[in-house]
Amino acid sequence: MKKILLLIYCFLAVYTADAQNYPYQSNVLWVTTPSNTNWLYKLKEEAKVTVSLYEYGVLQDNVEVSYSIGPELMPSEKTGTAMLKNGKAVISLGTMSKPGFKDCRLQVKLNGEEYRHHIKVGFEPEKLTPYTQFPGDFTSFWEKAKEEAANCPMEVTRVFVPAYSSDKVDCYLVKLQAFRKGNFVYGYLTVPKKKGKYPVVFAPPGAGIKSMNPLKDIFYAESGFIRFDMEIHGIRPDLDEATYKEISQAFGSGNNSYLVTGLESRDSYYMKKVYLACVRAIDYLTSLPEWDGKNVIAQGGSQGGALALVTAGLDSRVTACAANHPALSDMAGYKANRAGGYPHLFTRFDGMDTPEKLKTLEYYDVVNFAKLVKVPVFMTWGYNDDVCPPTTSYIVYNTLKSKKEALITPVNEHWISLTTRHQILDWIKENLL
Catalytic residues, by residue number, are: 302, 385, 414
Answer yes or no: are the C-beta atoms of 391 and 101 closer than 8 Å.
yes
- With a CB cutoff of 8 Å and minimum separation 6, the contacts of 238 are 173, 211, 212
DSSP character for 245?
H
Q: Give the count of beta carbons closer than 10 Å to the beta carbon of residue 177.
A: 20
Bridge-based pairing state of the strands 78-83 and 40-41: unpaired
- With a CB cutoff of 8 Å and minimum separation 6, the contacts of 407 are 378, 379, 380, 420, 423
Sign of torsion, CA 273 276 282 283? negative
Q: How far apart are CA 49 and CA 72, in angstroms?
A: 16
- With a CB cutoff of 8 Å and minimum separation 6, the contacts of 182 are none
Sign of torsion, CA 286 290 295 297? negative
| Environment class of 312 (CB within 10 Å of its CB; exposed 0-12, middle 13-18, buried 19+) | buried
Answer yes or no: are the C-beta atoms of 177 and 183 closer than 8 Å.
yes
Q: If you count DSSP H runs as helices and E runs as strands, how many of each does the chain have, helices first?
A: 11, 18
Q: Which of 202, 198, 271 is nearest to 432 (CA)?
A: 198
Phi first, then psi: give them for residue 372, nearest 5 degrees: -95, -10
- With a CB cutoff of 8 Å and minimum separation 6, the contacts of 159 are 172, 173
Is 144 strand, coil or helix? helix
Q: What share of the chain is helix, strand, coil (3-state, %, to 5)?
A: 30, 30, 40
Q: How far apart are CA 287 and CA 248, in angstroms?
A: 33
Q: How far apart are CA 34 and CA 237, in angstroms?
A: 43
